[in-house]
Chains A and B, each alone.
Chain A
Amino acid sequence: MDTLKVRDAKDVEEVVRAAIAGEQPLEIIGHGTKRAIGHPMATNAVLDVSALNAVTSYEPNELIITVEAGAPLADVQSLIDAKNQQFAFEPMDSAVLLGAAAAGTIGGMIGAGLAGPRRIRAGGARDHLLGAHAVSGFGDSFKTGGRVVKNVTGYDLCKLLTGSWGTLAVMTEVTIKVMPKPESERTLVLHALDEVTANKAMTAALGSPFDVSGAAHLPAAALRSGAEAFGSLAGAGQGVTLVRLEGIAASVAHRAGSLSQALSSYGTVDSLADAASAAVWSALRDVRPFAANGTLGASPVWRIVCPPAVGGTLGQALARETGGEVIYDWGGGLIWAAVPPGADAQAALVRKQVEAIGGHATLLRASDEVRRNVDVFQPQPAGLAALGERVRASFDPKSILNRGRMKRGGAA
């Protein structure tokens, strides 16, 4: 198979135009760390944007960075880290879950749009992409958005590009909002709550004025599976509920005090300070208990997004009925479920439960074979699916880009 390593936007246009003429669909990759997500595709050439890796401009005082789409995420993160800034949506390192090499590009981060624990406070990748240059399936370079935070000029195509898994356009350059890193953080820890009660505790924390920036629950089983990553927390062999506070030190201390008081009816409240707290959230962000090289490495993994207050009930039922393990983030609004290996990753059961409460499920990890047989992305009601397909076709009518990635046997 040909891998075409493009050097600039003109190259991308040329490759896409040739692909249109030759009716050859293309697979779009950055570093390809997330190639195992989505449906296996029948593409016969790879468009590799990883050589488009320059930082165009970084203006800390404007809170923006403009980079080419193939720039390595790790490099960009250390660049902004040096100015005490960060991507506030906490992009996950999916390599842990997928067993890929620790790599990944900015384009892949946006294309996948997978936000971490701070999403409940800071929003997702979609909320931080301010502008993009991209090449559509027409083979034309276009731009959308701009290089300022506040902008309503024309349709906000950035929202569509985020999380579109390379099925709409090939991004060549993006402008992303950066935010100051908090000066300090602390995590409050509750012990041994059942999942429904933990959900209630998180709901109370998120409904408080204490500006919670992370709310997660690790049941005992998941904590055992991730024992290594969670260190002392795993010791007691019981589930833990975690609530993160970030900001200037005095404020964090004050809020930790008030919130501990408010949560005291749920039992003793312990706390983890800066480095220990950060380590826990990075392990959670990357779903360490389900790591590819861990005890659950062979289990298919679902990523479920649902109304937060019903997460506990849903997760409990899923664990019970699939015989799998679950982890809760976003105060219950994000559930990671590792289900025992099997031909269909128990898709029918998972989807039925999830749909019933207004959520949706993505099969983020599974073998090629399973992903050939199961809808990786949540199937949508007919009208919405048709609109989604018209939207896709408005960018890529010939389905040149990542054909079949998002829809089984379909155009995208």
Chain B
Amino acid sequence: MSIMMPAADQAVLDRRGEIVAALRAIVPGEGVIDSAAEMLAYESDGLTAYRQPPMVVVLPDTTEQVAKVLKYCHGQGIKVVPRGSGTSLSGGALPLADGVLLGLGKFKRIREIDFDNRVVVTEPGVTNLAISQAVAHAGFYYAPDPSSQIACSIGGNVAENSGGVHCLKYGMTTNNVLGCEIVLMNGEILRIGGKAAENAGYDLMGIITGSEGLLGVITEITVRILQKPETARALMVGFAEVEAAGECVARIIGAGIIPGGMEMMDKPAIHAAEAFVHAGYPLDVEALLIIELDGPSIEVDELINRVETIAKGCGSVTLQISNSEAERNLFWAGRKAAFPAVGRISPDYLCMDGTIPRGALPKALARIRELSEKYGLGVANVFHAGDGNLHPLILYDANKPGEIEKAEAFGADILRCCVELGGVLTGEHGVGIEKRDLMPEMFTEIDLNQQQRLKCAFDAQGLLNPGKVFPTLHRCAELGRVHVHAGKLAFPDIPRF
């Protein structure tokens, strides 16, 4: 495991008893956990290769308690790591040995359902799925649907700007949140946005979304809800070559069709999924596309026909169209279970998350295959093909010495390849610790400094979730210095009018 976390501050560790007592004074009873055994549950998130018990866990249940905890830690120079449900795949919620782990699990209440304004006001610990369930009786749902939706919290979704199979058509978290209550590291409570379509001033909601717990602790969120489409149907299309599947994706988009979801799996992923859920996936194809169309049935039927024609024109070798909800769900069952399915064929796996331009799909896959041979590790690929978001699952065995390091190096090479192809390091899982040291592949020091200056505007002492996202931490005072390029003529050599 190659990623180093900031060194623990011995002076803080020496004061642990006193710190625990101070936190108990703010959050009474079971809300403060300091026994090693009980803290085990918090030592890692979905990136299980990394584990670190925190100094202490605190589980507040009011915004005021969150504010007091942060204010206290701010005053004492103590680091804080926010945590929702701990399903992050990038290590965003990994604790620090000298840090307080602040869990939002007790913020479990939906505060308001407002059908007329088409919003839900919720506490951050509510799961993604619970929001859709709470409004389902009126035909509404919350659109972003990460595969982890039964477990992951809406607070975590906002922090990670999570996506899901339907974000091709309905957007990521950032396109579906309107406002929040956030507590800054100094304990200040702010309300940003609300039920209106836009917030006043700079778009702070836009910057908080996807900030990976580095800017503030979110204690309330206002999300948009949508009416469920009248109906949905899916096609399952097999191709003898990945290139043909990639071409099919491009042609569908090129024809002006934006499917509700468009997912691709490669052969190893198809086999793993089929063995696990028996969805009837074709086993002799190199690539499988699942394409879902949603809307009124008259529209869905028409678009199914158009997509079918395109798929056949791209040389599809198998093609099935769902004729019932049961069948549609079966098509999806394998895709949705792809991660656990791969978990059955390999002792461990690393899930990567780069994005590339759709057109580069075949190139990226070829490169991943080469790398797989070079590293001697298997890989199964699932993609959100519609938006070019790849999830290569690198298979390894943590019990074999050196394999995790090999798997990490393989993963890093894949992400470098994504950037080379004009893409980015992460499409939806976040940078966290996992991709932190790869940030310079995509950004210059100037780019990263500008991002860190923004961090300074929220948390000048860098106490909130340090060690995540940024490969090197600078002091805010140093970042804020303006270099005056003196001795130059004013505006030399620029055409004037």
Interface set of A (CB-CB < 8 Å, partner B): 2-7, 11, 14-15, 17-22, 24, 45, 48, 51, 59-63, 84, 119-120, 123-124, 126-127, 136-144, 146-160, 162-164, 168, 179-181, 183, 203, 206-211, 247-248, 250-251, 254-255, 258, 305-309, 330, 333-334, 358-360, 377-378, 380-381, 383-385, 387-388, 390-395, 397-398, 406
**Are B387 and A149 neighbours in the complex by a CB distance under 8 Å?**
yes
Asked if A395 and B453 make an inter-chain contact with CB atoms under 8 angstroms apart, the answer reads yes
- Residues on the B chain within 8 Å of A150, using CB: 163, 167, 172, 355, 384, 387-389, 427-428
Q: Is the CB of B209 within 8 A of A156?
A: yes
What are 24 pairs between A and B in contact, CB < 8 Å?
A: A62-B357, A126-B203, A127-B171, A146-B355, A146-B442, A147-B357, A148-B387, A148-B424, A149-B387, A160-B454, A207-B118, A250-B298, A251-B296, A251-B299, A254-B296, A377-B201, A384-B190, A384-B201, A387-B184, A388-B204, A390-B456, A391-B204, A394-B456, A397-B482
Given contacts A62-B358, A148-B357, contact A5 B198 (CB under 8 A): no
Identify which of B115, B191, B443, B453 gathers the most chain A CB atoms within 10 Å of its CB.
B453
What's the minimum C-beta distance from A73 to chain B, rounded to whole angstroms?
Answer: 20
Please state if B494 and A14 are interface contacts (CB–CB under 8 Å). yes
Q: Smallest CB-CB separation from B494: which chain A residue? A: A4
Q: Which residues of A contact B359 (CB under 8 A)?
A: 59, 61-62
B449 contact set on A, CB distance < 8 A: 140, 142
Residues of B246-304 whose CB lies within 8 A of A: 250-251, 253-254, 256-258, 295-296, 298-299, 302-303
A248 to B304, CA, bound (A): 13
Q: Interface of chain B, helix or strand or loop or mixed?
A: loop
A63–B255 CA distance with the chains assembled, in angstroms: 11
B485 lies within 8 A of A20 (CB): yes
Q: How far in angstroms is the closest Cβ of chain B from A387?
A: 7
Q: How far is the CA of A175 from the CA of B256 in the complex (A)?
A: 19
Contact B355 A250 (CB under 8 A): no
For the complex with contacts A146-B423, A209-B230, 14 further pairs of A-B residues with Cβ separation under 8 Å are A18-B485, A59-B357, A61-B358, A127-B174, A148-B388, A149-B168, A149-B387, A159-B207, A181-B256, A247-B299, A250-B298, A358-B196, A381-B191, A392-B202
Task: Please tell me which one of the listed residues B194, B257, B303, B485 contacts residue A21 in the complex, with CB atoms under 8 A apart.
Answer: B485
Partner of A155, one of B210, B250, B384, B389: B210
Once the chains bind, are B198 and A45 in contact (CB under 8 Å)? no
| B360 vs chain A, min Cβ distance (A) | 9
Pairwise interchain contact B207-A334, C-beta atoms closer than 8 A: no
Q: Roughly how many angstroms separate A24 CA and B210 CA in the complex, as a whole number?
A: 35
Cβ-defined contact, B447 with A2, below 8 A: no
Does B480 have its Cβ within 8 Å of any Cβ on chain A? yes
At the interface, yes or no: B93 with Cβ under 8 Å from chain A? no
B343 at the interface (CB under 8 A from A): no
Set of chain A residues within 8 Å of B139, measured between Cβ atoms: 209
Chain B nearest CB: distance from A319 CB in Å? Answer: 20
Expressed in whole angstroms, the Cα–Cα distance for A146 and B482 within the complex equals: 27
Q: Which residue of A lies closest to B356 (CB)?
A: A148
Per the bound structure, the CA–CA distance linking A2 and B422 in Å amounts to 39
Q: Mark B354-387, 1 if CB is under 8 A from A, else 0.
A: 0111110000000000000000000000001001
B428 with A157: CB separation less than 8 A: no
Closest to A60 in B: B254
Interface of A is mostly: mixed
- Does the CB pair B257–A5 fall under 8 Å? no
Cβ contact of B200, chosen from A140, A158, A378, cutoff 8 A = A378
Residues of A within 8 A of B454 (CB): 155, 157, 160, 391, 394
CA distance A410 to B137 in the complex (A): 49
- Pairwise interchain contact B496-A4, C-beta atoms closer than 8 A: yes
A4 close to B210 (CB less than 8 A) = no
Question: In the complex the two chains form, is A143's CB within 8 Å of B256's CB?
Answer: no
Interface membership of B486, Cβ < 8 A: yes
Given contacts A59-B357, A160-B203, A209 and B229 within 8 Å (CB-CB): yes
* B211: A residues at CB distance < 8 A: 155
Across the interface, which residues of B come within 8 angstroms of A4, CB to CB? 491, 494-496
Known contacts A21-B488, A142-B446, A383-B188; A307/B196 CB under 8 A: yes
| Most A Cβ at <10 Å: residue of B172, B196, B447 | B196
Minimum CB distance partner of A5 in chain B: B495
- Whether the pair A159, B197 counts as a contact (CB closer than 8 A) is no
Q: Find out whether the CB atom of A18 lies under 8 angstroms from the CB atom of B495.
A: no
Q: Does A155 contact B207, Cβ atoms closer than 8 Å?
A: yes
In the bound assembly, the distance between CA atoms of A116 and B488 in angstroms comes to 44
- Whether B320 sits at the interface, judged by CB under 8 Å, is no
The answer, among B175, B204, B227, B489, for a CB contact under 8 Å with A208, is B227
- What is the CB-to-nearest-CB distance from A395 to chain B, in angstroms, rounded to a whole number? 7
Closest 6 CB pairs of A and B: A159-B206, A180-B256, A251-B299, A307-B195, A309-B116, A360-B200
User: With an 8 A cutoff between CB atoms, is B133 at the interface?
Assistant: no
Contact B203 A179 (CB under 8 A): no
For chain B, residues 213 to 271, give those with C-beta under 8 angstroms from any C-beta of chain A: 227-230, 250-251, 253-254, 256-258
**Chain A residues in 8 Å Cβ range of B160:** 152
The answer to whether B298 touches A251 (Cβ under 8 A) is yes
* B161 vs chain A, min Cβ distance (A): 5
Across the interface, B192 reaches (CB within 8 A) one of A21, A148, A153, A384, namely A384
Chain B residues closer than 8 Å to A126, beta-carbon distance: 203, 206
Contact of B451 among A124, A157, A168, A251 (CB under 8 A): A157
Bound-state CA distance A232–B271 (Å) is 62
Distance from A85 Cβ to chain B, minimum over Cβ atoms (Å): 8
Q: Do B490 and A24 touch across chains, with their CB atoms under 8 A apart? A: yes
Q: Do B494 and A333 touch (CB < 8 A)?
A: no
Q: Enumerate chain B residues within 8 angstroms of A147, measured Cβ to Cβ.
A: 357, 422-423
User: Are B484 and A21 closer than 8 Å at their CB atoms?
Assistant: yes
Question: Shortest distance in angstroms between B136's beta carbon and chain A's nearest beta carbon?
Answer: 13
Please tell me which one of the listed residues B174, B425, B486, B494 contacts residue A156 in the complex, with CB atoms under 8 A apart.
Answer: B174
Task: Kindly identify, within residues 454 to 497 of chain B, every residue whose CB is under 8 Å from any CB belonging to chain A.
Answer: 454-458, 469, 480, 482-486, 488-497
Name the distance in Å between B466's Cβ and chain A's nearest Cβ: 15
